[in-house]
Amino acid sequence: MIDLLLAYITLTLFGMVLLGIYGVVTRSNLIKKIIMLNIMGDAVNMLFILIGYRIVFPVFPPIYEEHITFEEFLSRAVDPTPQALVLTAIVIGMAMNILLATYAIQFYRLHGTVDARDIAEIIGGEGE
């Protein structure tokens, strides 16, 4: 039962990653692209955390408490490595988000559009 649940959650997250890529590729509105990029990033972070999960009962967070022995802690606690990685990834994602949102807003103020096709026309790139 729990295996089925885990597979379901994982597949949902993979679906969200693919949905994010699909949105970034097909939408032409920059704001929508940024939103889809965020959905993709969050799904990837969730997937990382999920990889560190263990199917034992009861499962502990990786916080050592005095009233349990160290062996019991080792056999119950989840893997802390993915969590430590995701901590950095979230900050970098936030920084990237600020930068992208600011550029989109400024481009809208200067040229009055956030449509990728119009932008290609404005900056003279080889758009379709």
Partner 1 sequence: MKRDVIVAVSFLLAFLFMAYALVYANVLGLGGAELRPLGEFYLSHSFAHEGLTSHSPEVVTAIVWNYRGFDTLFETFVFFLAIMGAFSVLRLTDEQEKLVKELEAREPHRQMDLIVRAITKLVVIMIVAISASIALHGHLTPGGGFQGGSAMAVASLLLFAAFSKFTLERKGLTVKHTVSAYALGLALILATVLAPVFLYGGKVLEINLLPGEMGLFNLDVGEYLAVTFGFLTVFLVLGVSEWIFKTVLRGEVND
Print the binding letters for residues 34-73 with partner 1: x by CB under 8 A, - otherwise.
----------------xxxxxxx-----xxxx----x--x
DSSP 8-class letter at 112: S
CA torsion sign, 89 to 90 to 91 to 94? positive
Site map for partner 1, 2-31, x if CB under 8 A? xx--xx--xx--xx--x--xx--xx-----
How many residues bind partner 1, per CB under 8 A?
A: 48
Pick the binder of partner 1 from 1, 58, 67, 98 (CB under 8 A): 98
CB nearer to partner 1: give 35 or 85: 85
Is-contact 51 82, C-beta < 8 A?
yes
Q: Which C-beta is closer to partner 1: that of 74 or that of 123?
A: 74
How many Cα neighbours within 13 Å face the side chain of 66?
0
Closest CA to 91 of 35, 45, 32: 45
CB of 125 to partner 1, least distance (A): 19
Say if residues 24 and 36 touch (Cβ distance below 8 Å).
Answer: yes
Token pair of 117, please? 């096709």
Separation between Cα atoms, residue 128 and residue 123, nearest integer Å = 13
Residues lying near partner 1 in the complex (CB under 8 A): 2-3, 6-7, 10-11, 14-15, 18, 21-22, 25-26, 50-56, 62-65, 70, 73-74, 77, 79-81, 83-84, 87-88, 91-92, 94-96, 98-99, 102-103, 105-106, 109-110
